Structure 1
Amino acid sequence: MAIHSDRDHAFPTESSTAPYFWGIDIGGTSIKCGLVDDQGHTVAFEQVPTRESEGPEAAVRGLANMVRETEQRCGVTGKVPGIGMGAPGPMDLPRGRLVAPPQLPSWWDFPIVEKIAEATGRQVEFLNDANAAAFGEYWLGSGSEHSSMLLLTLGTGVGGGIIIEDELVNGVNSFGSECGHILVDASPDAQICQWGGGRGQLEAYASATGVVAITRKRLREQTDSSLARFVNRDGETDADELTSKRVYEAAVAGDSLANTIVDETARWLGIAITTLVHTVDPGSVVLGGAMNFGGEECPIGKRFMEQIREEFRQRTFPNVYEGTTISFASLGSDAGYLGAAGYARKAHS
């Protein structure tokens, strides 16, 4: 496994290996930019505000200036052949355009690849942000010992990335690997996904938004939970107060309802993972994102993972279970820019 440096302690350029690649991870509030060497070490990192209201053209100018100044400061001018860029929301990868990113309304149908390439003079590789995170974990993180990998990112929504024999599954409609929208519940009263609007999709059960929606529904019936303090006189929960983190904290404190919600989330993920593994058989499944219920560092997170594995074991074939690892991601929020840089590196090789 390659070891990437903590971005707050940049790897010294004199010890790094050329060529270098930029990894850019565009978000609704900030843009993470890492200059990464050929071995995956971060030699420089910048995080700048997106400033959505100023529009994408201003962001492109700012990125181009940052790229030029950083390369000069690091002494790598002329040694950076490509840029990898991950972005959220629906996109048209062949045309290099963001189509309709929910958090970036002024960027809709913006030819971002063309504009960044013109402003920097570099080849630009464009991919979905979850796919970028997947490639980061595949190159440098929890999936680096495998030739194929599936990533699920558990956050506000559920993102996904599928890599088969070193190739990302992007799809004909630039919608490949959108694992959060696979169906896990076909019942007529299945949960509705807040973001996609589809009924019974994984995102409605295993995202932070889905967990809150399910908890809110249960609290109308079960009031002996410590989470009931977030219910007002009208029987509604305060959306700003009830969060998946609150559910996790209540579970740690021994709250019965909170622990039930954690276990049910694991069950839905086990069902989804079974379907996805039976489709592509990657050998490695990695769970990333902020909603990991404490991860391996916490008994609740460990139980969460054990429940996922057990659900998968019950639903798959013995040889498939034995040949598939399911683990937590290891790169945290760095996965996006590292994966974008790695994808640019792959295109250059």
Structure 2
Amino acid sequence: MKDNKKEYYLGIDIGGTKCAVVVGAGDFKIHRKIQFETRTGERGYAEILEEFFTHIENLFVEFPKENLKRIGISCGGPLDSRKGMIYSPPNLPGWDNVPIVEIFSKKYEVPAAIQNDANACALAEWLMGAGKGTRNMVFLTFGTGMGAGLILNGQLYAGTNDLGGEVGHIRLAETGPVGFGKPGSFEGFCSGGGIAQLAEKVVSEKLKNGEPVAFCPNIENAGSLTAKDVALAAHDGDLVAAEIIKTSGEYLGRGLAVLIDVLNPECIVIGSIYARNEALFKPHIERILKEEAIPSALEVCRIKPAELGESIGDYAALCVALYEEEF
């Protein structure tokens, strides 16, 4: 049954593997979600957008178009949030100079806005998650890669050309696993891909030296280890896995110390790998932070796991729409 009085927002989540349309309200309640595979290898952006339009038209049967207030879009960068453009994200081949905000705002005759996925997730955790109530918050993705969304003085800070928060590029060591195209980077040590690189190196060396590795007894399998494999083994008490986590955790602590010293936030919220494995990482980051961070800045900063978990993507684009209206 149609509710002809209830206003709502649309969240558009554009990902390299999956896309979603979310219908939500101003109280952050999600009424409906439609998810579909992006299939970038088979179709260009125009065809993918057509699938978005089809799903949205179907949603109008239940949610009248005239009650739609605003559209929020979350997408991996590079992009320009001010111009509303998507510029060739690596996970979206063919999405070159796409005026995404203009496309949606003209088609549906409502305001639209876009943010990169790290900023969108930062908004979600700030408005309704672990950072709620703060004025200065950093959100770290710590998933496939390492990126940040910055909330400074009660506003999202995207930088001059949407490159604010690219903390994964910070070099933390002269050598090390490669992330963001840079050996020894924050992303190299603290991401799913980076932990996999660490695991391959550590496990291969131990097996070559005749030391047993319970969770990977064969050296030919070392290259296929994932961060999840390492975390599960560490939770089970495997000492080699614990050593790998310790290395990642120590560099996570160093990266956090830089952010604390430079930005003096109230809260740093960390998602994905950290949120699922806080008990493994926390002792290492706390030790390093005591050594590296300005004590008075550390004293006022809480390090917290993200609260929205696997649902954060559902809320992120919706929060872009809500933020653009309220702020």
After TM superposition, the score normalised by the length of structure 2 is: 0.91
Deviation for aligned residue 1:288: 0.4
CA distance in structure 2 between the partners assigned to 1:61 and 1:119 by the alignment:
12
CA distance in structure 1 between the partners assigned to 2:280 and 2:217 by the alignment:
26
Deviation for aligned residue 1:57: 1.0
Residue from 149, 152, 157 that aligns with 1:169: 157
Match of 2:43? 54
Match of 1:267? 250
CA distance in structure 1 between the partners assigned to 2:153 and 2:22 by the alignment:
25
- CA displacement, residues 148-176 of structure 1 (integer Å, 9 cap, x when unaligned): 21011111111211111232121112211
Q: Secondary structure at the match of 1:229?
A: coil
Query: Counterpart amino acid of 2:290?
Result: R
Deviation for aligned residue 1:18: 5.0
Match of 1:284? 267
Residue from 19, 22, 30 that aligns with 1:42: 30
Matches within 5 A, 1:235-246: 237-239=222-224, 242-246=225-229
Count of paired positions: 320
CA distance in structure 1 between the partners assigned to 2:103 and 2:214 by the alignment:
51
Match of 1:339? 316
After TM superposition, the score normalised by the length of structure 1 is: 0.85
Match of 1:7? none
CA distance in structure 1 between the partners assigned to 2:125 and 2:286 by the alignment:
20
CA distance in structure 1 between the partners assigned to 2:275 and 2:270 by the alignment:
11
Consecutive unaligned residues of structure 1, counting only runs of 5 or more, are 1-11, 296-300
Asked if residue 71 in structure 1 is aligned to residue 53 in structure 2, the reply is: no
Matches within 5 A, 1:112-261: 112-185=100-173, 187=174, 189-193=175-179, 196-223=180-207, 224-232=212-220, 237-239=222-224, 242-261=225-244
Match of 1:6? none
Match of 1:5? none
CA distance in structure 1 between the partners assigned to 2:85 and 2:204 by the alignment:
44
Q: Secondary structure at the match of 2:105?
A: helix
Query: Counterpart amino acid of 1:237?
Result: A
Determine what percentage of the aligned residue pairs are the same residue: 27
Query: Counterpart amino acid of 2:293?
Result: T
Residue from 87, 103, 115 that aligns with 2:91: 103
CA distance in structure 2 between the partners assigned to 1:126 and 1:314 by the alignment:
39
- Contact 1:271–1:311 (CA<8 Å) still a contact in 2? yes
Matches within 5 A, 1:70-89: 70-74=59-63, 76-89=64-77
Match of 1:305? 282
Deviation for aligned residue 1:197: 1.2
CA distance in structure 2 between the partners assigned to 1:230 and 1:84 by the alignment:
47
Change (3 A) 1:18 1:327: farther
Deviation for aligned residue 1:126: 0.7
Residue from 274, 293, 296 that aligns with 1:319: 296
Change (3 A) 1:209 1:229: same
- CA displacement, residues 90-129 of structure 1 (integer Å, 9 cap, x when unaligned): 2233332221211211213222222222332222111101
- CA displacement, residues 319-345 of structure 1 (integer Å, 9 cap, x when unaligned): 222211111001123223413222212
RMSD: 2.1
CA distance in structure 2 between the partners assigned to 1:140 and 1:228 by the alignment:
40
- CA displacement, residues 171-212 of structure 1 (integer Å, 9 cap, x when unaligned): 112211112222222x2x34332xx31232111001111111
Deviation for aligned residue 1:253: 2.2
